[in-house]
């Protein structure tokens, strides 16, 4: 069955007239699944016009009613979870249970948005001056746009959509062109949940439509998640055009293993964090910093055994389920293999080479790869590889480990594994990173906290979901009011002008 992924505008699936399409493949076997349409700038602008119009009525809908749509949306997502996860696996490649995990993390943001009447309460002060009161209102910003990456085709859109809609905005999603099908399921479920037509729209496409959206005067806010160079460009262009922008970029997440750590626990944690979703996670651990040579030797030996035993293959239809699926595309697979070669050429020790893997299925697979003796000058250390390649860096002490992390250009996530409270406390305070784990390998904040990195992993002051998300999708207005005292006494004489 061949799919043709189109737009969803004003409550309907709408075909693009551009004639431009991109092919979609199943990464587990390389088979052609169908095509996605690449819309024209005019089609993107027609979605903006629809969203602008629909937003006015939606903004006037009481927050409690907007929350009820979110409650229904949550129930529908749960009902269709298996179907959605299957679609994610077919297009992205991650194993089915991991696709379900992604959906759960997105669903938690919907749950957060169900509390929107509380989140929009604002502030109130009595008697800011004599008989003068002040209160703030958090009003929607208008038409919001989300531009999302391939690696979480449901979770990342759900970082944005529920909060934006619950705040009273309309939303246009521009999904990744690599795995866009599930975006239309989101649109369908939102419609079934009772969201009025036009409040949520999907425009498929590439740079052409993104540029049109960034240039439209009717778009108020843009949330972007993707690679750092594009994030930086989107932030610059969107801000120059007067939009509110949050642009989350790439990562190189380090996990420090201290000599006193539970090594078996740390190794198990690293395995999931480095190789889950084939390393295609912005919070994947791609560098393990072992403190002391003894720690490094023990860690590498333990990792080697586990990496060699990784079950790699298709994410669907295999029992027991594989632990790691394919990469998103053939070009990406080739790029990851080139990175592995560059590590070898630049002098790192290749402990496990994933290039030679031969899974039962002819997809875009690279097996788990492990390097030792990696140093900060190497390309495999500096770049985000976005594949199942883990580098072990040897640090002489804790301070050097900390320095490695703080000197890196990215600042998304990090973790430390230790039994020592002093070290852990110092680490959480000194490390220049946005999301920090202590004996937790992937410290992705829950929906009621906010997600975002530091340094070149984010552009813009506000993170996604949690309180920052509500701030991002609302504009605060503060009212200061004095009311006339009115009539104090009844008068029984004939009124005359005084």
Buried b or exposed e, range 209-224, using 16+ CB within 10 angstroms: bbebbbbbeebbbbbb
Q: Please say which residue, 228 or 267, places its beta carbon nearer to ligand NAD.
A: 228
Tell me the C-alpha to C-alpha distance, in Å, between residue 272 and each of 57, 95, 103, 303, 371. Answer: 46, 13, 18, 11, 17
Contact of 330 with 28, CB cutoff 8 Å? no
Q: Please say which residue, 448 or 454, places its beta carbon nearer to ligand NAD.
A: 454
Look up 282 and say whether it is catalytic. Answer: yes
Contact of 380 with 346, CB cutoff 8 Å? yes
Buried b or exposed e, range 273-310, using 16+ CB within 10 angstroms: bbbbbbbbbbbbbbbbbbbbeebbebbbebbeebbeeb
Q: Please say which residue, 124 or 207, places its beta carbon nearer to ligand NAD.
A: 207
Q: Please say which residue, 235 or 365, places its beta carbon nearer to ligand NAD.
A: 235
Task: Name the minimum Å distance from CB 341 to ligand NAD.
Answer: 21
Task: Name the minimum Å distance from CB 282 to ligand NAD.
Answer: 3
Q: Please say which residue, 25 or 58, places its beta carbon nearer to ligand NAD.
A: 25
How would you list the strands of the sheet with 3-5, edge to edge?
3-5, 31-37, 21-26
Task: Name the minimum Å distance from CB 160 to ligand NAD.
Answer: 11
Q: Please say which residue, 189 or 251, places its beta carbon nearer to ligand NAD.
A: 251
Task: Name the minimum Å distance from CB 176 to ligand NAD.
Answer: 4
Task: Name the minimum Å distance from CB 473 to ligand NAD.
Answer: 17
Alpha-helical regions (H) of 80-154: 81-92, 96-113, 116-119
Task: Name the minimum Å distance from CB 458 to ligand NAD.
Answer: 7
Q: Please say which residue, 140 or 453, places its beta carbon nearer to ligand NAD.
A: 453
> Torsion-angle region of residue 460: left (phi > 0), alpha (psi -120 to 50) or beta?
left
The closest residue (CB) to ligand NAD is 226
| Termini Cα distance of the chain | 85
Task: Name the minimum Å distance from CB 82 to ligand NAD.
Answer: 23
Task: Name the minimum Å distance from CB 142 to ligand NAD.
Answer: 21
Task: Name the minimum Å distance from CB 10 to ligand NAD.
Answer: 22
Q: Please say which residue, 353 or 384, places its beta carbon nearer to ligand NAD.
A: 384
The contact set with ligand NAD (CB under 6 A) reads 147-152, 156, 174, 176-177, 206-207, 210, 225-227, 230, 248-251, 282, 384, 386, 412, 453, 457
Contact of 92 with 27, CB cutoff 8 Å? yes
Name, in order, each residue with C-beta under 8 angstroms of 361's C-beta and a sequence gap of 6 or more: 28, 29, 313, 314
Q: Please say which residue, 143 or 458, places its beta carbon nearer to ligand NAD.
A: 458
Task: Name the minimum Å distance from CB 156 to ligand NAD.
Answer: 6
Angle, CA 330 vertex, CA 326 and CA 331 arms, to 5°: 125
Buried b or exposed e, range 101-138, using 16+ CB within 10 angstroms: bbbebbbbbbebbbebeebbeeeeeeeeeeeeeebeeb
Tell me the C-alpha to C-alpha distance, in Å, between residue 400 and each of 212, 213, 396, 420. Answer: 46, 45, 6, 17
Instruction: Name the active-site residue from 114, 144, 167, 282.
Output: 282
DSSP 80: T
Q: Please say which residue, 236 or 263, places its beta carbon nearer to ligand NAD.
A: 236
Tell me the C-alpha to C-alpha distance, in Å, between residue 6 and each of 34, 44, 205, 408. Answer: 11, 12, 9, 40
**Strand pairing of 244-248 and 458-459?**
antiparallel
Name, in order, each residue with C-beta under 8 angstroms of 473's C-beta and a sequence gap of 6 or more: 140, 141, 144, 163, 164, 167, 169, 221
Name, in order, each residue with C-beta under 8 angstroms of 358's C-beta and a sequence gap of 6 or more: none
Q: Rounded to an integer, what distance in angstroms lies between the CA atom of residue 347 and that of residue 344?
A: 5
* Torsion, Cα of 199, 71, 85, 4 (10° steps): -20
How would you list the strands of the sheet with 124-129, edge to edge?
124-129, 132-140, 474-482
Any idea which residues carry the catalytic annotation? 282
């Amino acid at each position: 069955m061949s799919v043709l992924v189109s737009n969803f505008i004003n409550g309907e699936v709408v075909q693009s007239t551009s004639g431009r399409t991109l092919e979609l493949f199943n990464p587990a076997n390389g088979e052609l699944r169908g095509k996605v349409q690449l819309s024209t700038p005019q089609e993107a602008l027609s979605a903006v016009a629809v969203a602008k119009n629909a937003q006015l009525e939606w903004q006037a809908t009481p927050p409690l009613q907007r929350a009820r749509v979110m409650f229904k949306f949550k129930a529908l997502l749960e009902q269709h979870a298996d179907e959605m996860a299957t679609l994610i696996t077919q297009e992205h490649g991650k194993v089915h249970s991991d696709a379900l995990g992604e959906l759960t993390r997105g669903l938690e943001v919907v749950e957060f948005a169900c509390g929107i009447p509380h989140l929009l309460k604002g502030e109130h002060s009595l008697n800011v001056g004599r008989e003068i009161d002040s209160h703030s209102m958090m009003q929607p910003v208008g038409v919001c746009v989300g531009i999302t990456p391939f690696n979480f085709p449901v979770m990342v859109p759900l970082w944005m959509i529920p909060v934006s809609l619950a705040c009273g905005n309309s939303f246009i999603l521009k999904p990744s062109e690599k795995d866009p099908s599930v975006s239309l399921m989101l649109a369908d479920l939102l419609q079934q949940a009772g969201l009025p037509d036009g409040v949520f729209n999907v425009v498929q496409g590439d740079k052409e439509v993104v540029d049109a959206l960034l240039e439209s005067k009717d778009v108020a806010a843009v949330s972007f998640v993707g690679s750092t160079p594009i994030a930086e460009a989107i932030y610059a262009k969107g801000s120059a055009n007067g939009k509110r922008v949050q642009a989350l970029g790439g990562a190189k997440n380090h996990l420090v293993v201290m000599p006193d750590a539970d090594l078996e626990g740390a190794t198990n944690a690293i395995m999931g964090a480095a190789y889950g979703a084939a390393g295609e996670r912005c919070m994947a651990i791609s560098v393990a910093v072992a403190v002391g040579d003894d720690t490094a030797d023990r860690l590498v030996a333990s990792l080697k055994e586990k990496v060699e035993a990784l079950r790699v293959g298709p994410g669907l239809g295999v029992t027991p389920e594989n632990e790691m699926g394919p990469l998103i595309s053939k070009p990406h697979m080739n790029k990851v293999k080139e990175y592995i070669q560059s590590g070898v050429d630049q002098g790192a020790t290749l402990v496990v080479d994933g290039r030679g893997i031969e899974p039962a299925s002819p997809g875009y697979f690279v097996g788990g790869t492990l390097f030792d003796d990696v140093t900060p000058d190497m390309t495999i250390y500096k770049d985000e590889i976005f594949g199942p390649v883990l580098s072990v860096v040897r640090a002489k002490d804790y301070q050097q480990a900390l320095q490695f992390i703080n000197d890196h250009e990215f600042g998304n996530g990090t973790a430390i594994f230790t039994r020592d409270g002093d070290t852990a406390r110092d680490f959480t305070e000194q490390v220049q990173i946005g999301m920090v784990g202590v004996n937790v390998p992937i410290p992705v904040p829950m929906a009621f906290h906010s997600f975002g990195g530091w340094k070149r992993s984010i552009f813009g002051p506000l993170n996604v979901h949690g309180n920052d998300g509500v701030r991002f999708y609302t504009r605060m207005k503060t009212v200061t009011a004095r009311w006339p005292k009115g009539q104090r006494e009844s008068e029984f004489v004939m009124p005359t002008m005084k």
